[in-house]
Every structure is written in structure tokens, then in C-alpha cells.
Structure 1
Amino acid sequence: MSYTKLVVEKEDGYVVAAINHPPANALGQGVLMDLNALLDESLEDPEIRVIVLTGSGEKLFSAGADITEFAGDKPKGNKPKIEGNDVFSKIENYPKPVIAAMQGSAYGGGTEISLACHFRLLADTAKVGLPEVKLGIMPGWGGTQRLPRLIGKTKALEMMLTGDPLNSAEALSFGLVNKVIPAGQVLAEAKALAARLAQGAPVAIREIMKAVTKGLETTTEEGIKIEKAVCAVVDASADATEGPRAFLEKRKANFQGK
């Protein structure tokens, strides 16, 4: 399908989607609707096993919500067509890995969408922050929930109450990102990771992500029950037969996601 605010390129086993909403790659309704459609379309396409989300240009991954869409008075009952929280939750619970290739800085909703992704790669020249408090507002697309779970309450509160961003070294040291990469090489690194993940066993990858995400919402005891349940699904898959067989035959496994 066609997109108005995303530039989408399908590669071998994965898709690259660049937010294209200059000058700040703001997450307006058009971007959110395109992202939601991309997630739905990619879910139905067995050839797409990974999504790489990036931003057009190298200055900004995304500066966050489109302020022009919510500044000023709004008529009562004038609700957005799609909520950022709905799209971000869909990413977090998506059965295929989503990689945030942050070739530039991320602020506000730009940081929040990256928090929902399963991998975050950041340029060494970029910053990450939640500066909403400086506008008299607050993170409203999962930032108050995902950030403390990722880096701890103390640092998360500092970021959100001061609005001050982290540089790339700080973001890495606090576990906010998986890897810091030289500027200009982020997308290439993300594509290499996507290609590697696309060669993996889709059923096992899907169920691992499910076990981790759902397990973090409950106790360890209940999490073990979740793990047992998803292990049964993986063990019953054709991929679980193909993997050991390929190992014994000393060849590369051909996982079909079945």
C-alpha cells in the first residue's frame, strides 16, 4: 500500500520505514496512521520478519508529537483518529522484532516510540530526551511507564522532571539503547541486525518476545507459567525440528516460521 508520511523499502526478509515529516519528523496523525497500517500489512506478510524504523535525514529521528495538532483550544469531542499509545503498544507487543535506527536525536514522542521498539541503535552524535515538562505538559505515550522500567525510577524521574536529554554515552550507560554507532552508519548497522534476525526462527523469536513482555507484567512464578506455555508452542513448530536437524547435518537451518 502507499504511504504519505513514511518512506518504505522492502528488503530481503525485512522492511525499512523512514518517518518523512519535515522539518522535525513529528509524529502527527498522518505518521501514526501510516505506522499503524505498516504494522498491519507487515504482520500479514510472511516475507517480512523484521521492521526497521528510522527517520528521514540524519539530524532528527523524531522530535515527538506534532504540537500544531494539539496546541490551543479544541472543540469538545474532537478526538484524534488514532492514539499514539495504541500504535506504540502495538509495536511493543508486535510478534516481529522492531528496530529503532536512531540516526539523529529523539525527543518526546520520538523517544517514547523508541522505548516501545525491541532494539534501539543510536548515533554517537545524537541525544535522547523527554522535554515535555518544559512546555507545561508531560509524556503521554508511555514514557512514564516504559522509561523507569528500562533505566530505573531515579534517572527516569530526573529526565522527565528536568526535561534534560541524555547524550549517546549516557544513554548507553543507563541501558536506554543497545548500541551507540558512529553517525552516518546507524541505518547500515540496523539493516545488518535486521538481516541477521530475519534468518532466525520466527516462531521462537515471536514466543521469546511474548514471554519477556508478558512476564515483566507479573511475578516470576507467573512468568514461568507463561514461559512453559510458549515453549510448548515453539516445541510443536516445524522450525523446532528443522533447527536440530540442520545442526546434525552441519548445514544452515531453513526456518519457515511454521
Structure 2
Amino acid sequence: MEYTKLNVTREDGYVVAAINNPPANALGQPVLHDINDLLDACLNEAGVRAIVITGTGKLFSAGADIKEFSGIQSGDRPKISGHDVFLKIENYPKPVIAAMQGSAFGGGNELAMSCHLRILADSAKVGLPEVNLGIIPGWGGTQRLPRLIGKTRALEVMLTGTPLTAEQALNYGLVNKVVPAEQVLDEAKKLAAKLAKGAPLAIREILKAVTQGLNTTIEEGIKIEQAGSKVVFASEDAKEGGKAFFEKRPPNFKGK
């Protein structure tokens, strides 16, 4: 598949997609369409078990393309919304990792928050500064940030528009790991490679149970977990996992 704003490379078991929309990697319609197409292309591809999303240049992404705002304010409906793409990422059955080699603001931060795991450069900052433009985070930021770092901290970030340092983002639990900028992609690749060797069905059901469970009661969440357990216990991967354990060898999971 051809992409106009993504540099996509295929690795062993996973894909790396780098946003290439200089100078700020703004998430305009072409970028959102490319990410959406990538997700669709990888969904049923057995050889792709994880996706890494990163950026080119100094910024992961500065957010939505402000040049498109005037059309939206005039009533134009975009063909694809950040809401749609980010919800697809959040509910994706394969791990999606944000490799944030640079700062992420607004929609760029909302993109990262929709990913399952996040690695951030130690020199980078992340924030939701929309209030400074007289608008609100409009691609899920008001919902995902409180779920990730708590209501009190999230409100301070959004109401003041003040970005978080990498250290703050790590301490708040917004990102999984902070490393030097030149190591971000390598760390993400190592993580993706490890996940690619995992049990695809188990990973899928964990992602599903956690994502859906957080949006319901614990009783309903346990039902989702139980349904997932039933699926994986009946799989060939579960048999392979037990067999490999007793034979003291690495398992060879095939997603069946």
C-alpha cells in the first residue's frame, strides 16, 4: 500500500510507521488517512503482530493541522476524524506503540495517548495546549488524560495548557519509559519485537479486557475477562505454551 505522509518499514513481526509531514508532523487529513489505512492493512496480516508509530524530525507531532480549522469552523465535515482513528488504535487487537522521539502537543499527544504503550525522549515535552487557542482537546484528550494520570493532574494540564516535561510524564504514568531521543526508536523496536513473539490471542484478549473493562463496572469487566479466558484456554497457543514450559524451551505461538 502507498502512503503519502507515512514512512512505513516492515520488520520481523512488526511494522514501523514514521509520520513524515514537515515541519511539525501536523495531523492533517492525509496523515489521518494514512494511519487509518495502515491499521486496516495490518489488521488481518498474520505476520504483523505489533505497530510502532513514530515521527520524523524533531517533533513527534505538534497536533492537528491548524490550516484545516477554518474549513471546520465554516461547517465543512472532514472525511476522517482524529476521533475515529484514535478509537481504532485504542481498540486495536494488536499492540500499538508510540515512539515519541520528540515533543507531542494537542492532537499529537492525543494520538500517543490512544496507543497502548508510550516511549518518550528525555528532552521532549507533552501537552494539551488547546485552551490557549480558545478550544478544547477535541480528539479524546479530555477523556484519555484523566484515565491515564488522574482527574486533578489532567485538569491542571488542560486548563493551564502547560506542557509536562518527560520526567513529569513518566512520574505521572503517562508514558512507560523515558530514554535519550536517539534511543527512542530502538527501545520501541525492542519492545515490538518482544511482543511479536508473544501469544497473539492472549495479547488480543488482554487488550480487549483492559480497554473495555475500564469503561464499565468491575462486574462487567470480569465478564469480559472470563469470555477472553474461555477463548484462549481453548486455543492451540495455550497448549503450545504449556508444552513449551515443561519442555523448557521458548514457545512458538501461531495465533491459533
* Correspondence for 1:233: 231
Equivalences for residues 80-95 of structure 1 within 5 A:
80-95=78-93
CA 1:27–1:249 in 2, change beyond 3 Å: closer, same or farther? Answer: same
Equivalences for residues 84-123 of structure 1 within 5 A:
84-123=82-121
- Give the Cα–Cα distance (whole angstroms) in 1 for the partners of residues 72 and 38 of structure 2: 31
> RMSD across aligned C-alpha pairs, in angstroms?
1.0
| Counterpart pick for 1:188 among 180, 186, 189 | 186
Tell me the TM-score normalized by structure 1: 0.97
* Correspondence for 2:70: 71
Deviations 1:85-111 (A, max 9, x none): 000000000000000000000000000
- Give the Cα–Cα distance (whole angstroms) in 1 for the partners of residues 170 and 56 of structure 2: 23
- Following superposition, the deviation at residue 170 of structure 1 comes to 0.4
Equivalences for residues 122-141 of structure 1 within 5 A:
122-141=120-139
- Following superposition, the deviation at residue 225 of structure 1 comes to 1.0
Deviations 1:111-139 (A, max 9, x none): 00111000000000000000001011110
Deviations 1:141-191 (A, max 9, x none): 000000001101111011101100000000001001001011210000000
- How many residues of Structure 1 are paired with residues of Structure 2 in the alignment? 256
- Give the Cα–Cα distance (whole angstroms) in 2 for the partners of residues 249 and 129 of structure 1: 48
- Give the Cα–Cα distance (whole angstroms) in 2 for the partners of residues 228 and 73 of structure 1: 43
Structure 1 residue identity aligned to 2:2: S
* Correspondence for 1:142: 140
Deviations 1:38-87 (A, max 9, x none): 00000021100000000012x200000000011367544x2111011000
In structure 1, the gaps of 5 or more residues are none
* Correspondence for 1:5: 5
**Given that residues 72 and 78 in structure 2 are in contact (C-alpha distance below 8 angstroms), is that contact kept between their aligned partners in structure 1?**
no
Any runs of at least 4 consecutive aligned residues in structure 1 with deviations exceeding 6 A, and if so which? none
**Given that residues 126 and 164 in structure 2 are in contact (C-alpha distance below 8 angstroms), is that contact kept between their aligned partners in structure 1?**
yes
- Partner SS state of residue 217, structure 1: coil
1:40 aligns with 2:47: no
CA 1:245–1:71 in 2, change beyond 3 Å: closer, same or farther? Answer: same
- Partner SS state of residue 138, structure 2: coil
- Following superposition, the deviation at residue 252 of structure 1 comes to 1.3
- Partner SS state of residue 31, structure 2: helix
- Partner SS state of residue 79, structure 2: coil
Tell me the TM-score normalized by structure 2: 0.98
Query: What fraction of aligned residue pairs are identical, expressed as a percent?
Result: 71
- Give the Cα–Cα distance (whole angstroms) in 1 for the partners of residues 73 and 165 of structure 2: 36
**Given that residues 14 and 193 in structure 2 are in contact (C-alpha distance below 8 angstroms), is that contact kept between their aligned partners in structure 1?**
yes
